[in-house]
């Protein structure tokens, strides 16, 4: 599938004359793959977890956000691929538009895929298998996280789980205690206050 095909769902959902979100015309970056977690106060608050792969941001919406406790299993709902320029998007999507509400970059950085032991792996193969394990190098989050698909067919769902490595820290709750954007230092409330 070409990048532009992969972004068709994203574009079909949006009116770029009305939303400040990027339309996705830029070419993918060529450096280490990036991740972003965007805090998004839409009809319900959630955290959009996005991993660069094959020129787009493969995305899940995580209602409760990431946890540093390996015992927590956070529901992660797959959403449409987003364009690479979305990686630093924060702002206000007008009410009535798709995803209307406020977005901040809650964390971002680079990541690497953690292949299954003894194997080389690609993102696409890991996704297909239903186990995408990554090492994040972010500002708030550093360490291993796994997105794991459980169940089959209509009952399939993905979970975001902290891997049980040296970066696990059940005593720290960045979702609760570190609400600011890592790009601007602003909170959701700060950005929302700037909406016209
Ligand atoms: Mn969202």
Instruction: Give the Å distance between the CA of 119 and the centre of ligand 1.
Output: 33
Whether the model clears a pTM of 0.85, i.e. scores above it, the answer is yes
Strand duo 56-62 + 74-83: pairing:
antiparallel
- The C-alpha angle with vertex 60 and arms to 53 and 87, in degrees rounded to 5, equals 55
Number of domains in the chain: 1
pLDDT given for residue 99 in this prediction: 95
Ligand 1 is an ion; its neighbours by CB within 5 Å are 40, 48
Structural domain that includes position 79: 3-193
**Ordered mean pLDDT values, 10 residues apiece, the chain (196 residues):** 74 93 74 94 97 95 98 97 95 95 97 82 92 96 97 92 96 98 97 87
pLDDT given for residue 153 in this prediction: 86
Could you tell me which residues come within 8 angstroms of residue 153 by beta carbon, excluding any fewer than 6 positions away? Answer: none
Instruction: Give the Å distance between the CA of 134 and the centre of ligand 1.
Output: 21
Instruction: Give the Å distance between the CA of 50 and the centre of ligand 1.
Output: 10
Burial of residue 121 (CB within 10 Å: 0-12, 13-18, 19+) is middle
Written as six digits, the tokens of 143 are 């360490």
Q: How far apart (Å, rounded) are the C-alpha atoms in residues 89 and 171?
A: 30
């Amino acid at each position: 599938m070409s990048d532009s095909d992969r972004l068709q769902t994203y574009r079909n959902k949006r009116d770029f004359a009305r939303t400040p979100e990027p339309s996705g015309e830029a070419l993918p970056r060529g450096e280490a793959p990036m991740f972003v977690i965007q805090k998004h106060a839409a009809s319900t608050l959630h955290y959009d977890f996005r991993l660069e792969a094959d020129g787009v941001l493969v995305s899940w919406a995580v209602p409760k956000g990431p946890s540093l406790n390996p015992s927590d299993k956070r529901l992660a709902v797959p959403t449409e691929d987003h364009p690479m320029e979305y990686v630093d998007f924060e702002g206000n999507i007008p009410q009535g538009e798709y995803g209307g509400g406020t977005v901040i970059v809650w964390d971002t950085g680079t990541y690497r895929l953690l292949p299954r032991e003894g194997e080389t792996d690609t993102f696409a193969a890991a996704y297909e298998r239903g186990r995408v394990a990554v090492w994040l190098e972010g500002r708030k989050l550093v360490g291993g996280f796994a997105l794991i698909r459980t169940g089959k067919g209509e009952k399939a769902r993905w979970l975001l789980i902290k891997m049980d490595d040296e970066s696990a820290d059940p005593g720290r709750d960045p979702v609760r205690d570190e609400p600011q954007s890592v790009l601007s230092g602003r909170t959701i409330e700060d950005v929302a206050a700037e909406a016209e």
